[in-house]
Amino acid sequence: MVKVLTDANFETETKDGIILVDFWATWCGPCRMQSPIIDELDEEIGDKVTFAKMDVDANPQTPQKFGIMGIPTLIIKKDGAVVEKLVGFHQKEMLEEVLDKYI
């Protein structure tokens, strides 16, 4: 199940393992297109990668810390360090390729 992150729990919830965080907002069309892809990946490889989402409107501090200027933005963290930052909508196959580098 995709985790919901907040400014308060971001650091604790993303410090271990491989985590893909989807920064999004309810009003964002491309974000709504990205969301079902994240859900599909979570079902398929959620045992190897943790998938999480953060609403940038409700949680402005963390996106600002990571310099997120546009959404959707996906960051991949491995053991607490950001290893990839992807801006804009991404197809499932492309995300699988990127994640395979870290699994």
Q: Identify the CATH number of the domain in which residue 36 sits.
A: 3.40.30.10
Amino acid occupying residue 33: M
Structural domain of 59:
3-100
Give the residue numbers marked as catalytic.
28, 31
Q: What is the rounded CA–CA span in Å between residue 73 and residue 66?
A: 10
Is 40:97 a contact under the CB 8 Å cutoff? Answer: no
Q: In what order do the strands lie in the sheet with 73-78?
A: 3-4, 50-55, 18-24, 73-78, 81-87
The domain tally of the chain equals: 1
Q: What is the mean pLDDT of residues 30-46?
A: 97
pLDDT band at 32 (very low <50, low <70, confident <90, very high): very high
> By three-state DSSP, how is residue 72 classified?
coil
What is the pTM assigned to this prediction? Answer: 0.95
pLDDT band at 59 (very low <50, low <70, confident <90, very high): very high
